[in-house]
Amino acid sequence: MSLTQSRLICCLLLAMLTAPSAYGKNESTFAVGLGFFTGELSTSLAPKYSPHFQYESTNLSSKSFNMAHKFQFALLVGGTNLAGSGASYSGLAASYELGFRLNFGQKDIIPYLEAAPALGFFGLVTSGGPSTESSNQASVKYGYAVTTGFDRYTGGGRGSGGWGISAGYFYFLPSPSVFEFSAGKTSARGVRIDFRFHMGGS
């Protein structure tokens, strides 16, 4: 692991862990969706199916700009040729994003654009790979996500309860060796579609 990579990981962790605590009103959101991974099988994670569940807490101190803490859990099903090793795999992924959201409206229907640094944990169970490698492998990756969508509110704006739809692009970079799968370096990138349910503010 190079000094530059170590510093980048430390800075990203520090930024996320020391983000200002939510103040004022907050909105809780639950989402379900599907992820569609892209990239070469030998260099990227590319499971065939990846349903996910997400919990999000959004600070509503501003009507134009929000900061959102997003926690996502996903299944990874039907992957093949992990890092070019020939191993098939399935597993779980968990990620955290610190989203910075720009709203293009304030009432009823609110389109938005969001960018977020991200940290992800990927745990896999493999089969059919080299006999010298463990069938249980894990990796911690850092990256980013860019999301756009709209939210529909029933009571006049964020914090009043409603629903929404979003589409986003995510990209987790290959990790330094100490955080990477033993099979080899991989990235994880693709698009995801979410159906969102807002529980109102508190």
Residue 73's domain is classified under what CATH number? 2.40.160.20
Give the CA-trace dihedral at 157, 100, 51, 27, to 10 degrees: -40
Whether residue 70 is contained in a domain is answered as yes
Whether residue 11 is contained in a domain is answered as no
- With 90 as the cut, is the pLDDT of residue 12 above it? no
**What pLDDT is stored for residue 23 in this prediction?**
47
**What pLDDT is stored for residue 20 in this prediction?**
45
Whether residue 95 is contained in a domain is answered as yes
Q: For the beta carbon of residue 76, count every other beta carbon within 10 angstroms.
A: 25
Measured distance CA(9)–CA(4) in Å, rounded: 9
Measured distance CA(54)–CA(95) in Å, rounded: 9
Closest CA to 162 of 35, 30, 7: 30
Q: What is the pLDDT of residues 47-64, one digit of tens each?
A: 999 999 999 999 988 888
Query: What is each CA distance from 138 to 87, 107, 117, 154, 160, in whole angstroms?
Result: 14, 43, 20, 42, 40
Whether residue 13 is contained in a domain is answered as no
Least confident of 146-150, 159-163, 167-171: 159-163
Whether residue 8 is contained in a domain is answered as no
Whether residue 150 is contained in a domain is answered as yes
Whether residue 6 is contained in a domain is answered as no
Q: For residue 85, give both structure tokens.
A: 């090793």
Q: Sign of dihedral through CA atoms 14, 17, 22, 27? A: positive
Hunting for tokens 């944990």 — which residue is that?
A: 121
pLDDT-derived band at 111, boundaries 50, 70, 90 = very high
Q: Give how many domains the chain has, as a whole number.
A: 1
Whether residue 135 is contained in a domain is answered as yes
Residue 84 belongs to domain spanning: 30-201
Q: For residue 113, give both structure tokens.
A: 């654009």
